[in-house]
């Protein structure tokens, strides 16, 4: 196992585009839930799972920074009970700009967290209101200034394009303000309208004025161009970094490697099995309190599925998929399994072969989903 993901499902405000497992913070058993994280880790250890050689821990949500200083401190103490944090290569947390106080920054830093992934999404105040965010355009600057004072260097911000009513000019301004912060890492995602979200309901009622595919493609091109001009290299379709500051935890996902998923609704991949935890908090806690794994679903990944995942996850990265690594991992050559598919995609100009690797072309990056689909049975 290379990584650990810990899910904190609490939010003070539900964003209109979010479909992750989350609940409003108020009147929730937050303290008891934090203790249940430790109970789940204890059960896994009793079953023989070792957390001794982890590379990364990632706190996600929901919103980890919705917790108070005392709650964050307790959560980090529990993690220290099971993980040698000092040996980690990366310890990350997601954060909201308006919740990340100076005090919380100090708690996180003292607890071993060394990377912040801040959900900025836009620097346009009106757009932020439209998508259900509670921070304003000035909060990220304050947070990043405070974080640097506390000692954080490895920081990233998330941005979203293709938002309802968003113009090219607004996206240009957001990119300019984001890059002015001079951070080592940026993520830029196109809006995906997911079921069971506010935006999904609005779209079904014809009340979600999305920019359209052509404008969205132009925004993506702007994102890549601006990041490259500022020395942030694209290492995955939506992620850009100064070399050496790539997100190690996310690379674990894209390299199809193993990780533990801890918390209500969390997903994990261990011992050839993908699993998901129970989502409802009360039911999750009922299982952990009883000393049981709170697993809702298990799926033993077949070799065919593992090879498919190797391709569509690996092709998301700029370096692509290695022919030699694929053969070492599966005992079959990439040519034997996917040779015809790769050749057709090369002819279509969507992938290219370079030395030991196959990777997306620039056109292929724009049409990634179309490429990935070719590797699914």
Encode pLDDT of 344-375 as tens digits. 999 999 999 988 999 999 999 999 999 999 99
Residue 14 confidence (pLDDT) above 80: no
Q: What is the DSSP string of 192-236?
A: ---TTSHHHHHHHTT------HHHHHHHHHHHHHHHHHTT-EEEE
Instruction: Return the pLDDT at 19.
Output: 75
Nearest CA-CA partner of 88 in 116, 123, 60, 112? 112
pLDDT band at 241 (very low <50, low <70, confident <90, very high): very high
**Predicted TM-score of the model (pTM):** 0.96
List CB contacts of 86: < 8 A, sequence separation 6 or more: 112
Least confident of 88-97, 117-126, 198-207, 298-307: 198-207
Under the banding of pLDDT at 50, 70 and 90, the label for residue 21 is confident
DSSP class of residue 302 equals P
Per-residue pLDDT tens for 165-209?
999 999 999 999 999 999 999 999 999 999 988 898 988 999 999
Q: Are strands 351-354 and 321-322 parallel, antiparallel or unpaired?
A: unpaired
269 close to 309: Cβ distance less than 8 angstroms? no
Q: Which residue has the higher pLDDT, 80 or 27?
A: 80
pLDDT range class, residue 12, cuts 50, 70, 90? confident
Residue among 166, 204, 60, 200 nearest 119 (CA): 60
Mean pLDDT of 144-158: 98
CA distance 234 to 364: 14
Q: Give the per-residue pLDDT at 316.
A: 97
Residue 134's pLDDT is what? Answer: 87
pLDDT greater than 90 at residue 224: yes
Query: Domains in the chain, please, with CATH?
Result: 3-254 (3.20.20.70), 321-373 (no CATH)
* φ and ψ of 332, to 5 deg: -135, 145
d(CA 1, CA 258): 5
- From CA 223, how far away is CA 236, in angstroms rounded? 13
- The chain-wide mean pLDDT, for the chain, equals 96
Polymer length of the chain? 377
Residue whose pair of structure tokens reads 């304050």 in the numeric block: 142
Residue written as token pair 């992934």:
117
């Amino acid at each position: 196992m290379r990584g650990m993901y810990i899910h904190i499902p609490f939010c003070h405000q539900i964003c209109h585009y979010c479909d992750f497992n989350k609940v409003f913070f108020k009147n929730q058993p937050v303290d008891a839930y934090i203790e249940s994280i430790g109970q789940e880790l204890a059960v896994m250890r009793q079953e023989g799972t070792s957390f001794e050689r982890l590379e990364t821990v990632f706190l996600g949500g929901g919103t980890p920074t919705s917790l108070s200083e005392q709650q964050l401190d307790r959560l980090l103490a529990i993690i220290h009970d099971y993980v040698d944090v000092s040996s980690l290569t990366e310890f990350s947390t997601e954060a909201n700009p308006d919740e990340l106080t100076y005090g919380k920054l100090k708690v996180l830093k003292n607890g071993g967290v060394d990377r912040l992934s801040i959900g900025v999404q836009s620097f346009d105040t009106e757009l932020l209101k439209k998508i259900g965010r509670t921070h304003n355009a000035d909060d990220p600057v304050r947070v990043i200034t405070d974080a640097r004072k506390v000692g954080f260097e490895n920081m990233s911000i998330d941005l979203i394009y293709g938002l309802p009513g968003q113009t090219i000019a607004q996206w240009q301004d957001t990119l300019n303000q984001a890059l002015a912060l001079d951070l080592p890492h940026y993520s830029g995602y196109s809006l995906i309208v997911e079921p069971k979200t506010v935006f999904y309901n609005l779209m079904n009622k014809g009340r979600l004025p999305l920019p359209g595919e052509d404008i969205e493609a132009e925004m993506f091109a702007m994102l890549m161009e601006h990041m490259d001009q500022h020395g942030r290299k694209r290492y995955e379709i939506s992620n850009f970094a100064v070399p050496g500051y790539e997100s190690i935890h996310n690379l674990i996902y894209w390299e199809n490697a193993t990780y533990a998923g801890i918390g209500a609704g969390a997903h994990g991949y261990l011992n050839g099995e993908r699993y998901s935890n129970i989502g409802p908090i009360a039911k999750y806690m009922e299982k952990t309190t009883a000393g049981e794994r709170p697993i809702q679903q298990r799926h033993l990944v077949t070799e065919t599925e593992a090879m498919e995942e190797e391709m569509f996850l690996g092709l998301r990265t700029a370096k692509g998929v290695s022919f030699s690594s694929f053969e070492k991992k599966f005992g079959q050559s990439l040519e034997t399994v996917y040779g015809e598919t790769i050749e057709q995609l090369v002819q279509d100009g969507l992938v290219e072969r370079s030395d030991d690797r196959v990777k997306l072309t620039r056109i292929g990056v724009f049409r990634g989903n179309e490429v990935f689909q070719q590797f699914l049975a």
